[in-house]
Structure 1
């Protein structure tokens, strides 16, 4: 996750499983762990996730899927509070780092190097699906498939947590510009209305707010150019 645009690599507008940043780009990104620019290179979990798991009894413990788990900072928190966590990331370097983090934290996390679109996810498997920084790297033609993937992965009554760019955090490119230029420019920013239009028809959105800024030494990650959304698959939904 970064609010600094970069050109990335070209993607095919006809391939719903591809983005403009391929695995080798992300491997290079995660290779230098000493970087100071990406604030999420630390160990601190998202402030919203910590709030949800510590104060919201509706987040039933069980299986959790961490999409785009990066270096494992959120997966480790979920494992610590009682979830059985599967973390997936497009970068092998990120998975290697997350494996080390989980070991150092003394928690068990199943970590996979894969695109989430290539995972064989059994329907209605997870109580929680969490995405901190993956969704805003998806091309426009991937959105509907991604919503369907998350919905199918969740048990009825399960929750979806999302952290993604607000407009000021993204590249500023329109969908048309993305498709014509074959680049996301570093990630797409979303308005509140756009998120509600996309996720609202399938999920009950419990909260959608701006992330609270936290200092690096606070023990929590928080940047104001991000949204935090907590949504729920209807209990009455057919698995």
Structure 2
């Protein structure tokens, strides 16, 4: 029997259709507000222009950007999460476009963006899927556009269960060095609903040059 991801340590799914199953109940990374590491960027003015939120989930970061008056698109493959995001947008009177779309096929959007946000998407990608993502990312970002990523760090202990890929600084550098300029890789925390400590993470800032 294939081991299933536990609520404590979800992902990567065996197939991307399993993403919907992760939203059958509230997953631990859905904290009902933006992750502080990304909220800090919004408050600093680092997020600007047309924004794409990849793996947007139930839309907290897309809605955060809409609150700044920005043009925002959120994409995800979990239809359940997207419905929740649309409900939130209606309830808050916010204008955000949410699309059912595969982040490994970004160029199929046929659009360009100034900022791309990624809260927990990249660390779900299998190594074989990373080149398609990074190539697409470079294509859709305008020159001087920024990519901000929040991902599991290799400083987070392995739990013994199947979980998101723990990424080292070298993993990040080797994956993105031919696509984007890496500006900063900083220790951060991914807050979760299960405990107050959260997950050790990296907040990464990159620029399309």
How would you bin the TM-score normalised by the shorter chain?
Answer: 0.7 to 0.9
Partner of residue 111 from structure 1, selected from 81, 90, 98: 98
Give the RMSD, CA atoms, in angstroms.
2.9
Alpha carbons 1:30, 1:93 under 8 Å: kept: yes
1:22 is displaced (CA, Å) by 2.4
Instruction: Describe how 1:35-184 pairs up with structure 2 within 5 A.
Output: 38=28, 40-56=29-45, 58-59=46-47, 61-118=48-105, 120-122=108-110, 125-169=112-156
1:231 is displaced (CA, Å) by 0.8
- Aligned partner of 2:179 in structure 1 is 202
- Aligned partner of 2:24 in structure 1 is 31
1:154 is displaced (CA, Å) by 0.3
- Aligned partner of 1:227 in structure 2 is 202
1:211 is displaced (CA, Å) by 1.2
Q: Deviations over 1:119-149 (max 9, x none)?
A: 52226x1000111111111111111111111
SS in 2 for 1:86: strand
* Separation of aligned partners in 2, 1:209 and 1:105: 32
* Separation of aligned partners in 1, 2:183 and 2:155: 23
Alpha carbons 1:129, 1:159 under 8 Å: kept: yes
1:67 is displaced (CA, Å) by 0.6
SS in 1 for 2:20: helix
* Separation of aligned partners in 1, 2:199 and 2:52: 25
SS in 2 for 1:41: coil
* Separation of aligned partners in 2, 1:82 and 1:94: 23
1:164 is displaced (CA, Å) by 1.1
- Aligned partner of 1:14 in structure 2 is none
Q: Structure 1's 214 and 103: CA in aligned 2 closer, same or farther, altered over 3 A?
A: same
Structure (1 or 2) with the larger CA radius of gyration: 1
Alpha carbons 1:211, 1:223 under 8 Å: kept: no
Structure 1 unaligned blocks of 5 or more = 9-19, 174-183, 235-239
Structure 2 unaligned blocks of 5 or more = none
